[in-house]
Amino acid sequence: MTNKSHSKIFGYLAWLLGFMGCHRFYYGRPVTGTLYFFTFGLLGIGWIVDFFLIPSMEREADRRYVEGPYDYDLYWLLLIFLGVLGIHRLMLGKTVTGIIYLLTVGLCGFGWLYDLWTWNEQIDEANRRENSAAAR
């Protein structure tokens, strides 16, 4: 069975905002995502090239991250649109930090930025924990 943690369709939808690096964050490339954010997708050139690179980015993310009960697409949507409210953290079972984000507007945005960098790893960890608990 092939691991399908990340979606090509979601990647292309995020690519539409690619000049901000969204698709790169989604596929677990926070350094280049940040670079794209500050350079508007390498002045649009990198953004256009990435249209053709998304299939390979998806395959790499699928190899790197474990699928499980926590769906990457859903949790990325929660992070992007409700991240400063901490909804994504509450849904992942991180109640204390979710409430802190809710009360501090995502720690004034810095916690939200931190989650952009580490969200795939946090979902991956939760999926691994749930998968090992289910295997017992």
Q: Model confidence over 5-47: pLDDT tens digits?
A: 999 999 999 999 877 899 999 999 999 999 999 999 999 999 9
CA-to-CA dists, residue 136 to 52, 131, 133, angstroms: 41, 9, 5
pLDDT value for 1 = 54
Average pLDDT, the chain: 95
Give this prediction's pTM: 0.93
51: left (phi over 0), alpha (psi -120 to 50) or beta: alpha
CA 31 from centroid of its chain's CA atoms: 13
pLDDT at residue 76 tops 90: yes
Amino acid (1-letter code) at residue 34: T
Q: What pLDDT, on the 0 to 100 scale, is given for residue 127?
A: 97
Burial of 132 (0-12, 13-18, 19+ CB in 10 A): exposed
Encode the chain in three state secondary structure.
CCCCCCCHHHHHHHHCCHHHCHHHHHCCCHHHHHHHHHHHHHHCHHHHHHHHHHHHHHHHHHHHCCCCCCCHHHHHHHHHHHHHHCHHHHHCCCHHHHHHHHHHHHHHCHHHHHHHHHHHHHHHHHHHHHHHHHHC
